[in-house]
Structure formats: C-alpha cells, structure tokens
Chains A and B, each alone.
Chain A
Amino acid sequence: MSEHAIEVILNGEPVQAIVEGRRTLVDFIRLDAGKTGTHIGCEHGVCGACTVMLDGEAVRACLMLAVQADGRQVRTLEGVADADGTFSRVQQAMREEHGLQCGFCTPGVVMTLTAMTEANPQVSEEELTDAICGHLCRCTGYQGILRVVKRLTGAAT
C-alpha cells in the first residue's frame, strides 16, 4: 500500500497531507483538509453531492483519488462566496429562487453552476439544465433549481 505526500491548492490555499493511494479526493477534502462543505452521498458517482471544481471544471470528488489532485487547483463551496461572506451570483440566485431545502445536494449543485457560468458567461439554459441531470435532489423537485438556471442565463422567471 503506497503513501504519497501531496499538496493540493484548495480554494487558493496550499494544503499538504500524506495520503494512502486509495484516499479519495472527497475524503481528503473533508477529513484531511477539514472542509466539510463538500458532501458525500452515494460515494460511487451517482448523486453529485460531492461535486467540486478541479482546475475550473466540475468533477465528482468521490471518483478521483486525492493523489491525482496533487499540485492542482481544487475549489469547493467554501471558496465560492467573497472573503467577507457576500454571496456569489449563483448562491444569491439559489437563495432567492428557493433552489434548496435541506441543503444536502446544494454544495454540488452550486459547484456545477459556478464552474459552468464562470467558464462561459454565455452558457445556455439548455446546457445548465442538462448538467443539473448530474445531481440528485430529494427535496426541491428541481423546480427551484431550474428557476436558478433561468436566472443565471438571463431567461425571465
């Protein structure tokens, strides 16, 4: 069983740890880095709760090994709001359009929407809606989340 000294740039801050090869990225984030904003649902790639940004792209943190993120930029929910706590555009829309209830799926949803709107400010409603298919939400019935999508893409609500 191999062990690896890694350094991940988590929300702009380097985090070092010695991890086993089998350590998943989501366990590194929650257990080694102590950032629990990223949630674990299914732990096998189905639910989307663990979604984070890896070098700007939305990925499932339960489907990557921590050692694979060595030297790379990882962004989680903790890195979305401004330093003074002001909500990002995505967070503000989630709040105002009732995009969450219990909040379990929410960190993943926010990271997907953040990644896609930052990568392409002109991203379409269709593209965002399609990407929301990668998230299971047991509460909202998705209607609130789809209103968030509409707002983020400039479609009237």
Chain B
Amino acid sequence: MTKPAPFDYLAAHTLDEALEALADGYGDAVVLAGGQTLVPLLALRLSLPSVLVDINPIAELQGVSRIDGATRLGAVTRQAQVLRDPLVARHVPGLAMATRFVGHHQTRNRGTLGGSLALAEPAAEYPATALALGARMQARSRAGERTIEADDYFLGPYSTALQPDEILTAVDFPDWPAGARTVVNEVARRPGDFALVGLVCALSVDAGKIARAGVSWFGMGPTPMRSRRAEAALTGQAVEGLDLAGIAELAVADTEPLDDIHASGRYRATVARRIFPRIARQALGQGPGQEAAA
C-alpha cells in the first residue's frame, strides 16, 4: 500500500488565493487540478510538496467560451466536458477527438485539460494537439498575466515554460479556416494506455491545395514533437498526387523517439512511418475525419 507523505492542503476559492499560496510556498507548493496523475505521484511519494493548492473550487477556471476568433477552455475544464462540449465540437473538433484517447471514462470525469498540459507528459494526447493547432496558454502569477505560444511552452519531459509561482488559467485554440480537419490517432497496447506512437494532423485545403498544415507527434521524443519540415512540405501542395510516403520520412526525421520498456525507438519510427500517410489522408477528408466549421 502506498500513501502520500504529509502535506498541507489548501482549497483555493479564488485565483488570487491560489496565487498567493503558490508564491508563499515557492517551488515547494504544488497545484492540484484533476489529480489523475498528481495523486498517484503523491501516493508513490514521487511528489513531496509541502503545500497542495487545490484549484478545483475556482469557478472562473472552468468551462468553454468563445473569445476573439478562438475557443477558450478554462484550465480546470474536465476532459469529460471537452468530449461533449458543443463549442469544442463545433470549433475544435480535433480536441474532442484527442480526448477519446485520454485515460478512461472514470479518469476523464475528474482529469482536466489544463492538468494534462501543465504536466506535459510527452506521450500524452493534449500537448501534441495544442502544438499542432497552435494553442496559446494563458498563465497568471501575482506579477500579472502572460500568453505562452504552444511552440515556446513545452521544454522537455514534464517540463514547461510555467514558473513555480504561475498557474495555467486557460488555453485558447485559435480558429482554423473553415473546413479544416484535424485527425488524432495513436498506436497503444490497450485503449487508455499512453501511446507508443501518436499523431495529430490538421490540414486546411483551399481550391485543391493545402493552405495550412499542423503536424505533431506524441510518444516520439522528450516533448510533443512538431514537424515543421512536414508542415512546410505539405503547405501549398496540390492534394492530388501528394507524396505522403515521402512527407512521412520528413515528419519522422523531426522526431527523437526513445527506447523504453514499451518499445524501441526504431520500432516507434517504423510505426510512425506507417501511420502518417493514413492519418494525413483522413485529414484530407479521404476517410473518416473531423470537420471544423468556421
């Protein structure tokens, strides 16, 4: 049996209260969102905070809204809500698609979007989705608010640009052009396990040509891995006669797959090469995909 080591628990009812507690316990206080990863880490004593700051009671951190051509999700929005939210379904369907792979029904009822992005597990679905879609993280500390682009946010395994006294308050997903499709898929040993290899591919087609592309891998390196070379190779190309096998090579070249107990890096790269064309084809609408309205 594993039990957490003692800590002080503080239920924050306002953001200011939470920020104050974080600043007071600088570096040693930890934010509790959905707890679906943090509580196991506490139980295994891999995380030993002096203070646990529970942000679940803060109403303003929950829910989905529209703001300036983007869909804003509060950091403590439950994954189960992401899955069924009508604004997400309409404007960011790729995020709903990613959510189907996140944990299980029972953990999605507690687990949050922001918790996953603050944890930054390299094999998780949300970080790669945020990267492919160009999400913007909203972070707050007592010093003020700042926006962090997804490109500048993921620094390493479980490491982000968030400072110890900052809280991720919301994530904005800017609109893609009308008709853009995002497809998320992965290869995992069992449903709900972390992916061995996963891909988020977002494509927008205009007059038979790819106008914009977002390509990010998960489980393929120390962070979610965006492939700028694959995006560049896709952008401007005619959909007709696209060399997806060739672009898959570029996409895999932008990864750093690691060996671990689940799979070797070579195996991951082989799987990645195989799944890229299939997922890209779906994002082109040549198969079951996801359509986004404007």
Q: What is the interface of chain A, defined by CB distance below 8 A to chain B?
A: 1-2, 4, 20-22, 24, 27, 40, 43-45, 48, 51, 54, 57-60, 62-65, 67-68, 112, 116, 130-131, 133-134
> Can you name the residue of chain A whose Cβ is closest to the Cβ of B103?
A134
Interface residues of B, count at CB 8 A:
33
B110 touches A60 (CB 8 A): yes
B8 touches A112 (CB 8 A): no
> Can you name the residue of chain B whose Cβ is closest to the Cβ of A52?
B106
Q: Point out the residues of chain B lying under 8 angstroms from A45, CB to CB.
A: 36, 39-40, 107
Closest 3 CB pairs of A and B: A21-B9, A134-B104, A1-B6
A23 to B279, CA, bound (A): 44
The residue in B80, B107, B191, B192 that gathers the most chain A C-beta atoms within 10 A of its C-beta is: B107
Q: Is B44 an interface residue (CB 8 A)?
A: yes
| Known contacts A1-B8, A65-B54, then 19 further A-B pairs from the complex at CB < 8 Å, ordered by chain A residue | A20-B6, A22-B9, A24-B3, A27-B3, A43-B1, A43-B2, A44-B39, A44-B43, A44-B44, A45-B39, A45-B107, A54-B109, A58-B105, A59-B109, A60-B107, A65-B9, A68-B54, A130-B105, A133-B104
Q: Is B42 an interface residue (CB 8 A)?
A: yes
Main secondary structure of the interface of A (DSSP, over half): mixed
Q: How far is the CB of B165 from chain A (nearest CB, A)?
A: 21
Q: Point out the residues of chain B lying under 8 angstroms from A4, CB to CB.
A: 9
B39 touches A64 (CB 8 A): yes
Q: Point out the residues of chain B lying under 8 angstroms from A133, CB to CB.
A: 104-105, 190-192
Q: Is B167 an interface residue (CB 8 A)?
A: no
A21 touches B36 (CB 8 A): no
B10 touches A2 (CB 8 A): yes
Q: Is B7 an interface residue (CB 8 A)?
A: yes
Q: How far is the CB of B83 from chain A (nearest CB, A)?
A: 11
Q: How far is the CB of B25 from chain A (nearest CB, A)?
A: 13
A60 to B32, CA, bound (A): 16
A44 touches B40 (CB 8 A): yes
B7 touches A131 (CB 8 A): no
B3 touches A22 (CB 8 A): yes
A146 to B292, CA, bound (A): 34
B110 touches A59 (CB 8 A): yes
CB contact under 8 A between A134 and B42, given known A67-B11, A68-B54: no
Q: Is B200 an interface residue (CB 8 A)?
A: no
B8 touches A2 (CB 8 A): yes
A63 touches B107 (CB 8 A): yes
CB contact under 8 A between A67 and B9, given known A45-B36, A112-B106: yes
